[in-house]
């Protein structure tokens, strides 16, 4: 980010920061939980973003509720939850929620190519602090969404998911020691 700033890189309003989070060990139920949390907390997540990244109909990062608008907010969420619950495979989940379109705020398509989930909502940035805070938030958010699965959540499963933070902190500390950036 420092290099991009030093060469005067500019970010346009139409730019987005796409963040990939490891998903190789996630089950169908885990993915359903993540999608439900993204649907349920849409307004909170939108409030964290600039206006340009909040739209439900944005061509590059549509809301997961986009395909389920069927009355008031509660009815729309219930329609989305029903589609999520109806999925019997990851392919079904991808098809039911996004219609196999990758341009949603939470995108499952990279799972088959890179074993990741893609979060497309954040605005483009060259601000290292903003980028790092978003990555830390997503890790914490994913951990919480996964841990609220009432089935098969064990302390061991929860602890393993914390490994991303240790790895991120170690990598960030190493990067910061070789630059003028200080960890937050």
Rounded to two decimals, the pTM is 0.74
d(CA 67, CA 82): 12
Position 157 scores a pLDDT of 38
Max intra-chain CA distance, the chain: 54
Contact 139, 117 (CB under 8 A): no
Which residue, 39, 140, 26, is CA-closest to 97?
39
pLDDT of residue 155: 36
Confidence of residue 118 (pLDDT cuts 50, 70, 90): very high
Beta bridge partners of 19: 119
User: What's the rounded mean pLDDT across residues 122-145?
Assistant: 87
Instruction: Give the pLDDT band (50/70/90) at residue 153.
Output: very low
Distance, C-alpha 43 to centroid of its chain: 14
pLDDT at 109: 92
pLDDT single digits (tens) 47-97: 888 887 877 666 788 888 888 888 888 888 888 999 999 999 999 999 999
In 3D space, the residue among 74, 92, 72 whose CA is nearest the CA of residue 83 turns out to be 92
């Amino acid at each position: 980010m420092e290099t991009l700033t030093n060469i005067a890189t500019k970010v346009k309003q139409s730019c987005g920061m796409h963040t990939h989070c490891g998903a190789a060990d996630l089950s169908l139920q885990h993915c359903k939980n993540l999608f439900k949390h993204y649907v349920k907390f849409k307004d909170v997540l939108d409030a964290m973003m600039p206006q340009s990244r909040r739209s439900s109909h944005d061509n590059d990062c549509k809301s997961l509720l986009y395909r389920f608008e069927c009355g008031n907010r509660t009815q729309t969420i219930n329609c989305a939850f029903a589609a999520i619950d109806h999925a019997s495979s990851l392919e079904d989940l991808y098809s039911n929620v996004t219609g196999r379109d990758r341009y949603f705020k939470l995108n499952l398509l990279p799972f088959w190519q890179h074993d990741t989930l893609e979060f497309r909502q954040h605005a483009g940035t060259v601000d290292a602090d903003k980028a790092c805070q978003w990555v830390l938030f997503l890790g914490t958010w994913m951990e919480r969404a996964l841990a609220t699965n009432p089935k098969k959540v064990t302390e061991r499963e929860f602890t393993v998911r914390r490994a991303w933070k240790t790895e991120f902190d170690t990598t960030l500390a190493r990067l910061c020691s070789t630059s003028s950036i200080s960890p937050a």
